[in-house]
């Protein structure tokens, strides 16, 4: 099996503030093909050093992935450095240039002269289409090495890798079957989850198990690899079934769907509408729910009641309730949810109130309210981390409370 190296290009990645995170995604993708990443390099916008790095990688590894440095400016040197390293020239592509101009036109802008730099291809390279940005990628084969030039922004790199590079790589690699399953959980710490499921996954020597903590959620990836599809499938399905049973109702997704997508689908299935009332999160919960395409099928809207006055004015939370219990309390969370439900006419309403810090003795204390056709309930949680984490975890807690409610209703109705 060939080895891979990843080279991230950009002086900003050599500052104390920035890390190359694209390599994590690329490593995951390459590993899934059975390819190991044996070296990762970050190099600045320096043509000579970049040429030297590319030559070194090509001498050692059969797959070389370059990310970044494909922009239109003078310090975007990847194209030039690759041409130098391979002893090839850069050639202007009329077709690419027309596509770039067309892209600018579509957004009602005129292409700057400087963007023409992005229409140059290393001689003999295949262009890789970029739906999300102006920088086309490039695919080059030389001396048994496959070299990929990909744009730096993850939103451009990922779709390009999946659509353009994966099929080309699969053609080059010996047939290997990989079977994947995943589970996503919320509401359990990573170490507790690992302690629970590691006795299972350790029993399968051909199974690669990855546990990822992502914004307060835990994603478990299971990957079995074999020359025969049946073998890979049997291993991954058996392990998946056992782990799924251990995790129980903590699992919100078995197909990679996001928590907001799962909640949206549950609401849509019962033709129910949701509204929100957000204090601590200021709108993040609604922002997350509406990240799902066609969210209007199940989301009406809501209220960002950051000040106490707004809780009273927009949601009808009684002044005395706030005075007696404080704005961060179970009664206020319930009153906020009830108010949002009544004022929007939704079937369900979620509310969030809490202390996000950074100052204060009770930072991390959050109440979630849930109004449903059966009544109003609330949950109290103490969340770890800084302001940003507390606010994101708050939205997890709210969405998961609603998910469990909807799932319980469906299973009790069945």
Contact by Cβ (8 Å): 396, 259 = yes
Q: Which stretches does DSSP call E strand in 115-168?
A: 120-122, 126-128, 137-142, 145-150
Q: Which residue's CB is nearer to a copy of itself, number 143 or number 359?
A: 359
Report the nearest approach of a copy of itself to the CB of residue 52 (Å): 7
Binding to a copy of itself by CB under 8 A, coded x per residue (else -) over 378-397, reads ----xxxxxxxx-x------
Site stretch for a copy of itself (CB under 8 A), options 78-86, 106-114, 166-174, 244-252: 106-114
Q: Which of residues 318-357 bind a copy of itself (CB under 8 A)?
A: 343-345, 357
Residue 406 has a CB neighbour count (10 Å cut-off) of 21
Rounded distance between C-alpha atoms, residue 265 and residue 277, angstroms? 21
Residue 36 binds a copy of itself, judged by CB under 8 A: yes
- Per CB under 8 A, the segment of 86-94, 170-178, 203-211, 237-245 that binds a copy of itself is 203-211
The interface region with a copy of itself, picked from 232-240, 245-253, 300-308, 370-378 by CB under 8 A, is: 300-308
| 95 CB neighbour count, 10 Å cutoff | 11
Q: Least Å distance between CB 207 and a copy of itself? A: 13
Look up tokens 């809490």; give the residue: 354
Dist. CA 29–CA 166, nearest whole Å = 8
From the list 249, 313, 324, 410, which residue makes contact with a copy of itself (rule: CB under 8 A)?
Answer: 313
Which residues in the 232-271 window bind a copy of itself by CB under 8 A? none
* Residue 6: strand, helix, or coil: strand
CB 28 to a copy of itself: min, Å: 4
DSSP state of 172: H
Q: How far apart are CA 83 and CA 50, in angstroms?
A: 11
How many residues lie near a copy of itself (CB under 8 A)? 104
Interface residues for a copy of itself in 109-128 (CB under 8 A)? 109, 112-115
CB 181, CB 222: distance < 8 Å? yes
Task: Quote the tokens at residue 353.
Answer: 């109130």
Q: What is the DSSP letter of 291?
A: T
Q: Which is nearer to a copy of itself, 46 or 101 (CB)?
A: 46
Q: Which residue stretch of 9-17, 89-97, 329-337, 401-409 sits at the interface with a copy of itself (rule: CB under 8 A)?
A: 9-17
Provide, rounded to whole angstroms, the least separation between the CB of residue 408 and a copy of itself: 25
Contact 333, 285 (CB under 8 A): no
Task: Give 108 or 375: the residue with its C-beta nearer to a copy of itself.
Answer: 108
Nearest approach in angstroms of CB 411 to a copy of itself is 29
Among 34, 127, 153, 187, binds a copy of itself (CB under 8 A): 153
- Whether residue 147 contacts residue 79, with contact meaning beta carbons closer than 8 Å, is answered with no
Provide, rounded to whole angstroms, the least separation between the CB of residue 124 and a copy of itself. 27
Q: Which is nearer to a copy of itself, 90 or 211 (CB)?
A: 211
**Straight-line distance from the first to the last Cα atom of the chain, in angstroms, rounded to the nearest whole number:** 50
Angstrom distance (rounded) from CA 105 to CA 119: 16
Cβ 219 to a copy of itself shortest distance, Å: 9
Of 103, 140, 108, the closest CA to residue 118 belongs to 103
Q: Cα torsion for 180, 186, 191, 193, to the nearest 10°?
A: -60
Which of 143, 359, 375, 413 is in the footprint of a copy of itself by CB under 8 A? 359
Q: Given candidates 42, 121, 122, 220, which one binds a copy of itself under the rule CB under 8 A?
A: 42
Nearest to 392, CA basis, from 253, 259, 252, 255? 259
CB 61 to a copy of itself: min, Å: 10
- Segment near a copy of itself (CB under 8 A), from 65-73, 227-235, 317-325, 330-338? 65-73
Which of 95, 102, 123, 155: binder of a copy of itself (CB under 8 A)? 155
What's the CA gap between 342 and 24, in Å, rounded?
46
CA 86 remoteness from chain centre: 35
Q: Which of 126, 309, 319, 324 binds a copy of itself (CB under 8 A)?
A: 309
For the chain, how many residues are written? Answer: 414
CB-nearer residue toward a copy of itself: 166 or 407: 166
Give the three-class secondary structure for 105.
Answer: helix
Stretch that binds a copy of itself, among 162-170, 171-179, 209-217, 404-412 (CB under 8 A): 209-217
Q: Which stretch binds a copy of itself (CB under 8 A): 142-150, 168-176, 287-295, 331-339?
A: 287-295
């Amino acid at each position: 099996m060939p080895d891979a190296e990843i080279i991230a290009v950009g002086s900003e990645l050599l500052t104390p503030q920035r890390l190359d995170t694209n390599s994590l995604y690329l490593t995951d993708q390459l590993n899934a093909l059975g390819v190991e990443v044996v070296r990762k390099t970050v190099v600045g916008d320096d043509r000579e050093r970049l040429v030297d790095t590319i030559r070194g990688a090509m001498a050692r590894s059969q797959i070389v992935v370059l990310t970044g440095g494909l922009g239109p400016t003078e310090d975007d040197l990847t194209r030039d450095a690759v041409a130098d390293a391979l002893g090839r020239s850069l050639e202007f592509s009329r077709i690419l240039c027309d596509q770039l101009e067309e892209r600018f036109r579509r957004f009602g802008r005129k292409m700057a002269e400087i963007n023409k730099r992005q229409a140059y291809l290393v001689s003999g390279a295949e262009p890789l289409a970029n739906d999300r940005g102006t920088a086309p990628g490039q695919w080059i084969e030389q001396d048994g090495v496959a070299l990929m030039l990909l744009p730096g922004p993850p939103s451009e790199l990922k779709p390009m890798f999946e659509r353009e590079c994966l099929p080309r790589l699969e053609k080059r690699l010996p047939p290997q079957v990989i079977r994947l399953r995943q589970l996503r959980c919320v509401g359990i710490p990573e170490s507790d989850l690992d302690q629970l499921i590691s006795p299972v996954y350790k029993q399968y020597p051909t199974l690669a198990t990855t546990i990822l903590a992502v914004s307060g959620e835990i994603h478990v990836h299971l990957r079995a690899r074999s020359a025969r599809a049946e073998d890979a499938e049997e291993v991954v399905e058996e392990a998946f079934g056992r782990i799924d049973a251990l995790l129980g109702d903590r699992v919100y997704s078995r197909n990679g769907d996001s928590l907001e997508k799962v909640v949206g689908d549950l609401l849509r299935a019962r033709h129910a509408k949701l509204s929100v009332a957000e204090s601590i999160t200021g709108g993040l919960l609604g922002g997350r729910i509406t990240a799902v395409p066609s969210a209007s099928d199940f989301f009406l809207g809501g209220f960002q009641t950051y000040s106490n006055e707004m809780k009273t004015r927009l949601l009808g939370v009684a002044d005395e309730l706030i005075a007696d219990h404080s704005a961060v309390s179970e009664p206020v969370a319930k009153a906020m949810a009830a108010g949002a439900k009544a004022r929007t006419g939704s079937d369900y309403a979620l509310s969030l109130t809490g202390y996000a810090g950074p100052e204060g003795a009770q930072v991390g204390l959050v109440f979630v309210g849930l109004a449903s056709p059966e009544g109003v309930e609330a949950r109290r949680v103490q969340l770890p981390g800084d302001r940003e984490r507390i606010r994101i975890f708050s939205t997890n807690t709210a969405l998961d409370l609603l998910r469990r409610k909807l799932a319980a209703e469906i299973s009790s109705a069945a």
